[in-house]
Structure 1
Amino acid sequence: MTPFTEKVIHIIKNIPQGKVMTYGQVARLAGSPRAARQVVRILHSMSNNHHLPWHRVVNVKGEIVIKREDGFQEQKLNLEAEGVEIENSNKVNLETYQVKE
């Protein structure tokens, strides 16, 4: 596992319940600000093995962007269960819920 991947996993594991981070924010904190897509790949391939709270990561606009309806609904329900309000059926207010750096 690369040092970047290890950092990404650590950062995601430490996102507090009821808060979110963006893919780019995670990449930046892990030391590679242009690697948001790599964060997506890490989440996709390692969430189950590392028990990552994948649902706490959204895009730069605060949107849930999972294409599969079941995955979209799972992320939305998990966030709502933690007290995160979803606006317009797919958007998190980043000013309210984003982890501040």
Structure 2
Amino acid sequence: MGDFANRVFNVVRQVPRGKVTTYGQVARLIGAPRAARYVGYALHANPEPGTDPGCIPCHRVVFKDGRMATGFAFGGPDEQRKMLAAEGIAFDEEGRVLLDQHLWSGRPEAEPDGDLAVGPPPDFDWDAELGD
């Protein structure tokens, strides 16, 4: 995998059980805020899906409105929902994750071991990237 995908995988590995993140949040955390779609492409090629230590829990990544990915690579949105429900994730009446309860802060629960991406580089120019 390339550097972009590896940075995505490093962030997604940090999402704790019972929390979710969004494609856009992952993109922002790796310093590429306009690359949410490419985060999805990287996760579609996830070499280590699952919940075991060392796996990349891509089922914990949802759309910004809490919807599951319709093309969830490892069994479809029903499988993704089942995996999230097994971790205690709650959903609204339309089947979206209750982000106000389950959205991950983007901060590791413990001190990171090694070089894990937890934010954009210090010299990242948000104004230039966002075009504001």
Fold shared by both chains (TM-score > 0.5): yes
Q: TM-score, normalised by structure 2?
A: 0.68
Partner residue of 2:37?
Answer: 37
Letter in 2 for 1:64: M
1:38-70 CA distances to partner (integer Å, 9 max, x unpaired)?
0100110124478321110000111113147x5
Preserved CA contact (<8 Å) 1:62 1:93? yes
Provide the secondary structure at the position in 1 that maps to 2:89: coil
User: Matched residue pairs, number?
Assistant: 100
Percent identity over the alignment is 39
Which of the two has higher C-alpha Rg? 2
Letter in 1 for 2:57: P
- Please list every run of at least 4 consecutive aligned residues from structure 1 whose deviation after the TM superposition is greater than 3 angstroms: 47-51
Gaps of 5+ in 2: 107-132
RMSD over equivalenced CA pairs, Å: 1.9
Partner residue of 1:95?
Answer: 100
* Aligned CA distance change for structure 1 residues 7 and 67 (closer, same or farther; 3 Å): closer
Partner residue of 1:86?
Answer: 91
Letter in 2 for 1:22: T
Partner residue of 2:66?
Answer: 62
Preserved CA contact (<8 Å) 2:46 2:58? no
Provide the secondary structure at the position in 2 that maps to 1:91: coil
Question: Which structure carries more strand by proportion?
Answer: 1
